[in-house]
């Protein structure tokens, strides 16, 4: 179709589509879905080949957040029965990170619930970053701590952080319906602070909160304007005990269209499938690899994800390969434009559902707050569009903050 040919050509030239073209992608029919995936896949392969970057989350501090983000299981007033614990010690966080790196992760994302870090919190996270880098010098570290105050981004970079994640989550017009304890402008300011400090900025969205197609296009175009290196696309997991527990709007087909639209608008950026892929894409996850070049490995912040081994098998079976530690994620022109930021030379961004959501911290974003358990029994219910799939949601009970081995 002419629309897709136009979008492919624009993507190869790093040219932005129009809002009308982006909306048209979301409006395509299921009959045209494979054509949409194939077209966006051409753009993805042009800039990123068949590489898939693996990222690993470490939840440094879980629950008890004063912010009221409606999607988040760690929010103020949440009744979700999640793990709650205060700051992990640097050696505990380093051990958790090592599990992800051993499983193939190239980047570790350090996340903490809360509105934003105090200076003492920045000291804690700085010590953790140094501990991780001492154990594995090549690993990339992304901090996801919420709203930043002046000078904090610079201190994190001095400690060895490569990136900072803070999501916009939804459009500016609807942001006040989702969160009231901070503003959309606060989030934009934090992303700009990360940029200014020389960190690789990561910022994304959450789909499935009842937003319109126009809202989705608005937030993706806003992200393009902010120019992060990484855009995590999260799919809301309606977690019991949160205000959005009844919001089940997504189908695998709609998720693929959202990822395709994001790829067309942000052609040369690391697009990451973040929280909720197991719940909403389900058996169509391999198709999404033709659109996104990055995923999270193992569990999320407060929920369990697909088994890490299953992720690696999926990548191989779909004809892709895991990106190696020595490979640069971003296209050469983006690394040059950044002046060598991110990985102090690579610039590849972090993020997950919440990846900017999470009670003011970078990743929680609702979807991370409840992704699929590692394995399902034989009695799983067949998927019906729009029906709740609570059988695919499991609260994390292993890994960071527990005595059990992580899933990586």
Report, as residue numbers or ranges, the catalytic residues. 65, 69, 72, 109, 142, 202, 272
- Token match 């909160």: residue? 209
H helices of 107-183, in order, are 119-135, 152-158, 175-178
- Whole-number Å distance between alpha carbons of 328 and 326: 7
Taking the C-alpha atoms of residue 17 and residue 257, their distance in angstroms, rounded to an integer, is 15
Sequence-separated (6 or more) residues with CB below 8 Å from residue 322: 51, 52, 53, 54, 104, 312, 315
- Residue count (the chain): 408
Pull the structure tokens for residue 264: 């067309």
Q: Which residues pair with 174 in a beta bridge?
A: none
Task: Write the DSSP string, 293-362.
Answer: SEEE-S--SSB--S-HHHHHHHHHHTT-EEPPTTS--S-HHHHHHTTS-STTTT------S----GGGSS
Contact 130, 159 (CB under 8 A): yes
What is the four-CA torsion angle of 80, 84, 87, 89, rounded to 10 degrees? -130
Handedness of CA 133, 135, 139, 141 (dihedral sign): negative
164-190 residues labelled b (16+ CB within 10 A) or e (exposed): bbbbbbbbbebbeebbeebebebbbeb
The dihedral built from the CA positions of residue 329, 330, 335 and 340, taken in this order, carries a sign that is: negative
Q: What does the alpha-carbon distance between residue 341 and residue 265 come to, in Å, rounded to a whole number?
A: 23
Partners of 164 in the beta sheet? 143, 201
231, HSE (Cβ side, Cα atoms, 13 Å): 28
Instruction: Kindly report the backbone phi and psi dihedral angles of residue 188, in degrees, each rounded to the nearest multiple of 5, phi listed first.
Output: -60, -40
Q: Is the dihedral of CA 25, 26, 31, 34 positive or negative?
A: positive
- Taking alpha carbons only, the member of 270, 315, 322 closest to residue 289 is 315
């Amino acid at each position: 179709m002419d629309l897709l040919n136009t979008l492919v050509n624009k993507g190869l030239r790093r040219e932005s589509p129009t809002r009308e073209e982006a909306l048209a992608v979301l409006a395509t029919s299921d009959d045209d879905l494979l054509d949409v995936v194939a077209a966006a896949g051409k753009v993805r392969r042009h800039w990123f080949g068949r590489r898939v970057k693996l990222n690993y989350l470490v939840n440094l501090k879980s629950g008890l957040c004063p912010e009221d983000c409606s999607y988040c299981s760690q929010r103020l007033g949440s009744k979700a029965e999640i793990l709650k614990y205060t700051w992990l010690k640097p050696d505990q966080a380093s051990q958790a990170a090592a599990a992800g790196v051993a499983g193939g992760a190239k980047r570790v994302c350090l996340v903490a619930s809360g509105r934003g870090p105090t200076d003492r919190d920045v000291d804690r996270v700085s010590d953790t970053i140094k501990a991780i880098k001492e154990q594995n010098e090549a690993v990339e570290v992304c901090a996801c701590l919420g709203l930043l105050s002046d000078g904090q981004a610079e201190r994190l970079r001095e400690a060895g952080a490569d990136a900072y994640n803070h999501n916009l989550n939804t459009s500016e017009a609807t942001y006040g319906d989702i969160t009231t304890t901070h503003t959309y402008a606060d989030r934009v300011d934090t992303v700009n602070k990360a940029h200014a400090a020389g960190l690789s900025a990561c910022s994304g969205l959450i789909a499935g909160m009842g937003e319109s197609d126009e809202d989705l296009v608005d937030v993706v175009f806003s992200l393009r304007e902010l120019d992060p290196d990484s855009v995590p696309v999260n799919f809301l997991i309606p977690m019991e005990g949160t205000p959005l527990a009844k919001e089940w709007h997504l189908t695998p087909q709609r998720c693929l269209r959202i990822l395709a639209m994001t790829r067309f608008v942000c052609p040369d950026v690391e697009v990451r499938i973040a929280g909720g892929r197991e719940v909403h894409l389900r058996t169509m996850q391999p198709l999404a690899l033709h659109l996104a070049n990055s995923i999270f490995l193992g569990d999320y912040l407060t929920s369990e994800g697909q088994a890490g081994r299953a992720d690696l098998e999926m990548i191989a079976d779909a004809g892709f390969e895991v990106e190696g530690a020595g490979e640069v994620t971003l296209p050469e022109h983006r690394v040059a434009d950044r002046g060598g930021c991110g990985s102090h030379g690579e610039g590849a961004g972090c993020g997950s559902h919440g990846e900017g959501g999470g009670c003011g911290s970078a990743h929680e974003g609702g979807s991370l707050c409840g992704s699929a358990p590692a394995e399902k029994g034989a009695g799983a219910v067949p998927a019906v569009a729009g029906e709740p799939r609570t059988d695919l949601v499991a609260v994390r009970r292993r890994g960071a903050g527990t005595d059990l081995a992580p899933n990586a």
